[in-house]
Amino acid sequence: MTGRLSSFSISGHPVGQFLAMIVMGVVLVGAVLMGAVVFLFLLGLFVIGYSAFWLRAWWRWRTARNRGPSDSGPEPGAAKDIGYLEGEYEIVEADADAARRGSGTRL
Overall average pLDDT of the 27-50 stretch: 98
Instruction: Report the distance separating Cα 107 and Cα 104, nearest Å.
Output: 10
pLDDT digits (tens, 9 = 90+) for 92-107: 777 766 777 765 555 5
Centre a 10 Å sphere on the Cβ of residue 95 and count the other Cβ atoms it contains.
8
18 vs 47, residue with greater confidence: 47
Domains in the chain: boundaries: 38-65
Reported as a single tens digit per residue, the pLDDT across 59-79 is 999 888 877 665 565 565 555
What are the distances in angstroms from CA 74 to CA 3, 84, 88, 105? Answer: 93, 16, 25, 40
The span from the CA of 6 to the CA of 20, in Å, is 17
